[in-house]
Amino acid sequence: MPRRTGEPPHHHNLTCYTNYGCRLPECVERYNAAERDRRNRKQQGNYQRFTEAGPVRTHVQQLIAAGATPRGIAIKANVGDKVVRGLLPTRADGTRMPLKHRLVADNAAKLLALTADDVVPQYTPAFGTIRRLQALAADGWPQKVIARHVGLYPSYISQLLWRASTNAELQVRGSTALAVARAHDALRGKKPTRNGVARKAYKLVRAAAQEHNWPPTSYWDQHPGAIDDPHFEPLYGVTRREIVAQDAAWVMRTAGLDRHAVAERLGVHKSYLDHAFREYPQYAIGVAA
């Protein structure tokens, strides 16, 4: 990859030397020290060409959650696009990819050296951040505990949670999105009641989340990459009958079909569709009998 021109964003790691041609004495020494360490490890037999991809994947996904793009990450880290894309569970078109478990050590070091200042925009859409906060609430984590892990006031966490349904264009700072992504990954899979959360608070938070059908972290684990996809509509807590009622109401209004024709199109019996409308009458309003 050709060397870029311009002033490097900082002088804290090797990218200023390798990517921008920086030759400040302290940066040259940092690079030389890294090269000496690599050569010494090779001579001692401790040098490994490959390393575990898991920590790198987590770091990259957190940067993406904060608004960075895979292409931007690749450019800043001076690695190929395929290196970054290979770490992600889904392709750009949404299809699944097998997870890579190993990564070239030099590429891993470059990616792990990236900081939020390198690739995270000042502001980013809030939907992924809100979904992570809702997932933690669905797991039973109170807002004050989440706020402590994120480094924000509980009142701001509350605003994000409850304004989500009223402001689709809501944005958050990239640094906030990154902090929430890191807190989400740190708390995901842990039991709140085994980590200092009172059982009463745990039950109250879970009850509120269930009332709003907020998917827990385990749901998003089953849909890799979907939590940051604005086009993915989670169907957590939605029954098959409700989905049939929704789909039937839409078809009947847009195509003008009656219940018999719609039931046949959806592959269900008319009695099943009638039952769905009785169970979810809000979808039956204004549709043909």
| Structural domain contains residue 222 | yes
Decide: residue 273, CB within 10 A, 0-12 exposed, 13-18 middle, 19+ buried. buried
Does 220 lie in the same domain as 167? yes
Q: Cβ distance 157 to 143 under 8 Å? A: yes
Does 178 lie in the same domain as 136? yes
- In which domain, by residue range, is 274 found? 240-283
Final residue belonging to a domain, choices 119, 154, 172: 119
Does 140 lie in the same domain as 53? no
Does 131 lie in the same domain as 95? no
Q: Cβ distance 114 to 63 under 8 Å? A: yes
| Structural domain contains residue 114 | yes
| Structural domain contains residue 4 | no
Final residue belonging to a domain, choices 119, 151, 175: 119
DSSP 3-state of 186:
helix
| Structural domain contains residue 10 | no
| Structural domain contains residue 72 | yes
pLDDT at 123: 93
Does 25 lie in the same domain as 43? yes
Cα R_g (the chain), whole angstroms: 24
Q: How far apart are CA 134 and CA 131, in angstroms?
A: 5
| Structural domain contains residue 211 | yes
Q: How far is CA 97 from CA 28, 60, 81, 149, in A?
A: 39, 16, 15, 31
pLDDT at 6: 63
pLDDT at 63: 93
| Structural domain contains residue 271 | yes
Q: How confident is the prediction along the chain (289 residues), in pLDDT tens digits per residue?
A: 445 556 776 776 677 787 778 888 888 888 888 778 777 777 766 556 788 888 999 999 999 999 999 989 998 888 888 889 888 877 655 566 677 788 888 889 899 998 888 899 999 999 999 999 999 999 999 999 999 999 999 999 998 887 665 566 789 999 999 999 999 999 998 999 999 999 999 999 999 999 988 999 999 998 888 898 888 888 887 788 888 888 888 888 888 888 888 888 888 898 998 888 888 888 887 666 6
Backbone φ and ψ for 210, nearest 5 degrees, come out as -65, -35
- Which residues, in sequence order, are bridge partners of residue 213? none
Does 246 lie in the same domain as 193? no
pLDDT at 95: 64
Q: How far is CA 37 from CA 15, 29, 40, 114, in A?
A: 17, 12, 5, 20
C-alpha closest to that of 117 among 71, 196, 178, 170: 178
Does 129 lie in the same domain as 224? yes
pTM of the predicted model as reported, rounded to 2 decimal places:
0.67
Does 99 lie in the same domain as 81? yes
| Structural domain contains residue 248 | yes
Q: How far apart are CA 227 and CA 65, in angstroms?
A: 9
Number of domains in the chain: 3
Final residue belonging to a domain, choices 64, 94, 119: 119
Does 150 lie in the same domain as 62? no
Does 153 lie in the same domain as 206? yes
**Nearby residues of 274 by Cβ (< 8 Å), 6 or more positions away:** 259
Does 251 lie in the same domain as 212? no
